[in-house]
Amino acid sequence: MRFLTTFAACLCLGAFHVQAKSTAGDRVVVFVPKLDAASEYSQFLDSLGTRGFDVSFEGDRLYDHAIVLSPSSKKFGSGISVSDFLSFVDSGGNLIVAASHELSDIHRKLALQFGVTFEKRGSRVVDHTSHLAATVNQSDHSVVAAKQFAQVDAVLSKKVVGGKPVLFKGIAHAYDAANPLLVPLLTGARTTYSAASSAARSDVVLTGMSIGLVSAFQTRSNARVVFSGSADLFSNRLLGQKAAGNTQFVKEISQWAFQEKSVLRSTAHRHHFAATGETPEHYRVNNEIVYEVDLSVYYDDAWHPYVASDVQFEAIMLDPYIRATLNRTESNAAHATYHGDIKLPDRYGTFTFRVNYKRTGYSNVVVQDTVGIWPLRHDEYPRFLSAAYPYYVGSLTMVLGFLALSAAWLWNTEPKKAKSKTN
């Protein structure tokens, strides 16, 4: 593969350069096997252009997003290795990787780093009951009509999940279901299996739901990576099919991958005394405080208030002493405010106030402050406790009783009738 700097001009992208619709930036690099090959994906790439991306076909970390549409390439140009892609993602770059049945080792190695294990080279996903009717060879059922979408609202809208099946022609991958960062977006149906194209079917390993077709990965630093076992998914041939939902599906996964939607952020957070509203340098045990955090979500080219009922506040000193759900109190055009009335624990020490919000498909939001909680000074305790009044009275009556007895003892005169027995 070569770097084709000149091709950028062919797509007339300068015109779309004006507005970035992604929160992460507007520079996309596309890896294609040959310059001509880009025309195979022109619908998809043009749609990126209309979404405000500056698409060009070469790479360095001059880019915010990368699309790898060259499954059979053995290298990505001179000097670009798997570790370059990893550091690209580590530094916040977003990546879409499309494979096919002839994918090369470099794709496989790259995918393995994200818990995605592609099947053996040459194997294909086949489904004999749900497929696109082949025009040439009627026994070729390798263009699978897949509709096992993941119920991840942040990535796939109801329009996709409840819509037409997605045509998929390519290779399956196994996904690590235990990996919380990896979400299979599209999987095989019960009738789907992965097999080598040869007649021998004995090497079937992946079947049904365990077949990953398209998977999404979000790193802890909120970079997003999408693996598709099919590069054809993005091709004009399959995007153009009337009966297929490819257009909407590809639009939504690329919007998600390029941080055009489901990007969460906290614009501000604050905590203060409930009574006075001021933020002290440190709190005292059992103080009543207010904690608030503002959350926004990005979609449709703008920041909107983020609406949820599961935002939690934690006060942590090794263990969480408090974990309380925050209530959404007000929303303006840009953010929603989540509010909590918190009573600090009866425990002094250095605490961390944290909102640790990680939900599938949304960017991770971690907001934290280190706050000291001090004990009361010796003269700040209440002097008299109402619960102890009976004891105060009890000890006082003992004093009075003692005085009374002493007085009676000292001024006692034995009655005259006293018997002679007494002393």
Partner 1 sequence: MSGSSAAEIVSKLAADYIDETPQKLKLIDSYMVFCVVTGLVQFLYCVLVGTFPYNAFLAGFGSAVACFVFAANLRIKNQPKERRPVLGLASRVPAFAEFVFCHILLHFVVANFLG
Question: How far, in Å, CA of 301 to CA of 298, rounded?
Answer: 7
Instruction: Candidates 138-146, 338-346, 368-376, 413-421: pick the segment binding partner 1 (CB under 8 A).
Output: 413-421
Considering only residues 36, 200, 387, 416, which one is a binding residue for partner 1 as defined by CB under 8 A? 387
Asked if 48 and 28 touch (Cβ cutoff 8 Å), the reply is yes
Among 220, 319, 390, 416, binds partner 1 (CB under 8 A): 390
User: Which pair of structure tokens corresponds to residue 369?
Assistant: 């402050």
What is the H or E stretch that residue 315 is in? Answer: strand 312-317
Of 347-386, binders to partner 1 (CB under 8 A) are 385
* Range in contact with partner 1 (rule: CB under 8 A) among 149-157, 265-273, 288-296, 392-400: 392-400
Q: DSSP readout, 388-400?
A: GHHHHHHHHHHHH
Span from 8-16, 56-64, 323-331, 388-396 in contact with partner 1 (CB under 8 A)? 388-396
Cβ neighbours of residue 104 closer than 8 Å, sequence gap 6 or more: 71, 72, 73, 74
Residues 56/28, Cβ–Cβ less than 8 Å: yes
- Residue 411 makes contact with partner 1 by CB under 8 A: no
Q: Does 408 engage in binding with partner 1 (CB under 8 A)?
A: yes
- Which of these, 115, 112, 106, 142, lies nearest to 31 by C-alpha position? 106
Residue nearer to partner 1 on the CB measure, 278 or 409: 409
Q: Does 9 bind partner 1 (CB under 8 A)?
A: no
Over its C-alpha atoms, the chain yields an Rg (Å, rounded) of: 34
37-96: contacts with partner 1 (CB under 8 A): none
Number of residues that bind partner 1 (CB under 8 A): 26
Q: Does 346 bind partner 1 (CB under 8 A)?
A: no
Distances in whole angstroms, Cα of residue 353 to Cα of each of 53, 129, 196, 356: 38, 54, 54, 10
Q: Please tell me whether residue 419 binds partner 1 under the rule CB under 8 A.
A: yes
Q: Of residues 15, 200, 414, 416, which one binds partner 1 by CB under 8 A? A: 414
Structure token pair of residue 130: 């749900």
Please tell me whether residue 406 binds partner 1 under the rule CB under 8 A.
yes
Q: Which is nearer to partner 1, 77 or 394 (CB)?
A: 394
**Cβ-Cβ contacts under 8 Å for 115 (sequence gap 6 or more):** 175, 176, 179, 181, 182, 217
Residues that bind partner 1 (CB under 8 A): 385, 387-388, 390-392, 394-395, 397-399, 401-402, 404-406, 408-409, 412, 414-415, 418-419, 421-423
